[in-house]
Structure 1
Amino acid sequence: MAGTLPAAGPASAATDPQRLTVDLAASEGPVMLGANGALYGLSDDGVPSDAALAPLKVTSISQKPEGGAQHPNGDALTVSKSFFRNGGGEINVMMQDIYAKWPYEDLGIDDYLPKVDKIAKEVAADPNSERFVYIPFNEPDQIWYKLGVADQAQYEANRDRFFRDWKTVYHRIRAIDPDARIAGPNEAAYHTRLLRDFLAFAKREDVLPQVMTWHELGSGSLRDFQAHYDDYRSLEREAGIAPLKINIDEYANRRDLSVPGQLVQWVSMFERNKVYANAAYWDAAGNLSGHVVRSNIPNGGWWFFRWYAGLTGDTVEVTPPQADTIDTLQGLASLDTGRRQAQVLLGGSAGDSDVVVRHVPRSVFGRTVTATVAEAAWSGYEGQHATPRVLARVKVKVADDGSVTVPLRGMRKMSAYRIVLTPGGSGTPATPSVPWSASYEAEAAAVTDGKVYTQGTVENANGYAASGTKDVGSLNQATSKVDFTVTVPRDGTYDLAILYGNQSGAPATQRLSVDGGDPVTVTYPSTENWTYRAKKELPIRLSAGTHELTLAKGAAEVTLDRVDLTARDGVPSASYEATLADISGRPSYDYSSSAGVGTGALVLRSGDQAVFDVYAPRDGYYTVVPRASAAVRLALHGETVTAAPGRPLRLYLAAGNNRVAMTAQHASVRSLTVSGAGSTAGTLGHEADSATLAGGAELVDSAYASGGSYIGRLGNSPSSTAEFTVRAPSSGRYLLVVHYAHNDRRDNGHAYNTDIMSRTADITVGDGAPVRVTFKNTWSSDDYWTVGVPVDLRKGSNKVTFGNATAWAPDIDRIELGRVVGLP
Structure 2
Amino acid sequence: MKRTALRCTAATAVLTVAAAGLAATPAHSAATLVVDASRALGPVTHAASGGLYALAENERPDDSMLHPIRMRNVTQPAPGSLHEPNGQPPGGDSLLVAPQADRAGAGVVIRMPDIYPDFPYQWVSWDDWLNKVDTQVRDRLDASTVSNIEGYELWNEPGWTWDTEAAGPFNEGWVRTFERVRSQDPVTPVIGPSISSYREDFMRSFLTHARDNGALPDVVCWHELQSTPEAIERNIADYRALERELGISPRPIAINEYGSPEQVDQPGPVASYIAKFERGGVDSANRAFWYEYGTVNGLVTDNDRPTGTWWLYKWYGDMTGRMVAADPPASTGIDGFAAYDEERRVFSAVFGDQAGDNTVRVTGLEGLGDRVRVRVESTPASGRFTHVPDPASVLEETRAVENGGVEVQVPGMTATSAYRLVVEPVAGVDHPLRYEAENASVFRAQRLESAGASNGGYVGRIDNSGDFRTDSYVDFTVEVPESREYTMTIGYANGTGAAATHGLAYNGGAWRTVEYPATGGWGEFGDTVTTTVELHAGYNTIRLAKGAPHFAGATGYAELDYIELD
TM-score (norm 2): 0.71
Q: How far apart, CA to CA, are the structure 1 residues paired with 2:393 and 2:431?
A: 13
The unaligned stretches of length 5 or more in structure 1 are 1-5, 147-156, 427-577, 587-607, 613-625, 627-631, 639-658, 664-824
Measured against aligned partners, the alpha-carbon deviations of 1:94-151 in whole angstroms (never above 9, x if no partner) come to: 10010112211121322200000000111122223563310111111111246xxxxx
Shift in alpha-carbon separation, 1:350–1:8, aligned structure 2, 3 A: farther
Question: Which structure 2 residues correspond to residues 242-391 of structure 1 after superposition, within 5 A?
Answer: 242-275=249-282, 276-322=284-330, 328-361=333-366, 364-391=367-394
Shift in alpha-carbon separation, 1:280–1:581, aligned structure 2, 3 A: farther
Specify the code of the residue in structure 2 equivalent to 1:94. Answer: R
Asked if structure 1 preserves the Cα contact closer than 8 Å seen for 2:98 and 2:148, the reply is no
Q: Partner of 2:389: helix, strand, or coil?
A: coil
Shift in alpha-carbon separation, 1:8–1:101, aligned structure 2, 3 A: farther
Q: How far apart, CA to CA, are the structure 1 residues paired with 2:304 and 2:296?
A: 11
Q: How far apart, CA to CA, are the structure 2 residues paired with 1:610 and 1:128?
A: 22
Asked if structure 1 preserves the Cα contact closer than 8 Å seen for 2:27 and 2:412, the reply is no
Measured against aligned partners, the alpha-carbon deviations of 1:473-524 in whole angstroms (never above 9, x if no partner) come to: xxxxxxxxxxxxxxxxxxxxxxxxxxxxxxxxxxxxxxxxxxxxxxxxxxxx
Asked if structure 1 preserves the Cα contact closer than 8 Å seen for 2:298 and 2:383, the reply is no
1:125 corresponds to which of 142, 157, 175: 142
Could you tell me which residue of structure 2 aligns to residue 85 of structure 1?
A: 103
Shift in alpha-carbon separation, 1:103–1:579, aligned structure 2, 3 A: farther
Could you tell me which residue of structure 1 aligns to residue 504 of structure 2?
A: none
Q: How far apart, CA to CA, are the structure 2 residues paired with 1:582 and 1:56?
A: 17
Asked if structure 2 preserves the Cα contact closer than 8 Å seen for 1:583 and 1:609, the reply is no
Q: How far apart, CA to CA, are the structure 2 residues paired with 1:662 and 1:298?
A: 16
Specify the code of the residue in structure 2 equivalent to 1:76. Answer: S
Measured against aligned partners, the alpha-carbon deviations of 1:563-615 in whole angstroms (never above 9, x if no partner) come to: xxxxxxxxxxxxxxx989776599xxxxxxxxxxxxxxxxxxxxx99627xxx
Question: Which structure 2 residues correspond to residues 1-400 of structure 1 after superposition, within 5 A?
Answer: 17-71=30-84, 72-88=90-106, 90-126=107-143, 127-129=145-147, 131-145=149-163, 161-218=169-226, 220-275=227-282, 276-322=284-330, 328-361=333-366, 364-399=367-402
Shift in alpha-carbon separation, 1:320–1:260, aligned structure 2, 3 A: same
Higher share of residues assigned helix: 2
Specify the code of the residue in structure 1 equivalent to 2:40. Answer: S
Measured against aligned partners, the alpha-carbon deviations of 1:610-642 in whole angstroms (never above 9, x if no partner) come to: 627xxxxxxxxxxxxx8xxxxx6579xx9xxxx
Specify the code of the residue in structure 1 equivalent to 2:344. Answer: R
Asked if structure 2 preserves the Cα contact closer than 8 Å seen for 1:322 and 1:329, the reply is no
**Sequence identity percentage:** 32
2:407 corresponds to which of 376, 401, 405: 405
Deviation at 1:336, TM superposition (A): 0.8
Asked if structure 1 preserves the Cα contact closer than 8 Å seen for 2:75 and 2:256, the reply is yes
Asked if structure 1 preserves the Cα contact closer than 8 Å seen for 2:98 and 2:149, the reply is no
Specify the code of the residue in structure 1 equivalent to 2:55. Answer: L
RMSD: 2.9
Deviation at 1:317, TM superposition (A): 1.1
Measured against aligned partners, the alpha-carbon deviations of 1:723-773 in whole angstroms (never above 9, x if no partner) come to: xxxxxxxxxxxxxxxxxxxxxxxxxxxxxxxxxxxxxxxxxxxxxxxxxxx
Specify the code of the residue in structure 1 equivalent to 2:299. Answer: H
Asked if structure 2 preserves the Cα contact closer than 8 Å seen for 1:375 and 1:390, the reply is yes
Asked if structure 2 preserves the Cα contact closer than 8 Å seen for 1:130 and 1:180, the reply is no
Larger radius of gyration: 1
The unaligned stretches of length 5 or more in structure 2 are 1-16, 85-89, 438-475, 486-506, 508-535, 541-566
Deviation at 1:17, TM superposition (A): 2.6
Could you tell me which residue of structure 2 aligns to residue 555 of structure 1?
A: none
Higher share of residues assigned strand: 1
Shift in alpha-carbon separation, 1:236–1:158, aligned structure 2, 3 A: farther
Specify the code of the residue in structure 1 equivalent to 2:102. Answer: F
Q: How far apart, CA to CA, are the structure 2 residues paired with 1:198 and 1:26?
A: 36
Shift in alpha-carbon separation, 1:119–1:318, aligned structure 2, 3 A: same
Alignment: residue pair count: 428
Question: Which structure 2 residues correspond to residues 372-771 of structure 1 after superposition, within 5 A?
Answer: 372-399=375-402, 401-425=403-427, 611=479, 633=483, 660-661=537-538
TM-score (norm 1): 0.49
Specify the code of the residue in structure 2 equivalent to 1:404. Answer: V
Asked if structure 2 preserves the Cα contact closer than 8 Å seen for 1:12 and 1:409, the reply is no
Asked if structure 2 preserves the Cα contact closer than 8 Å seen for 1:9 and 1:409, the reply is no
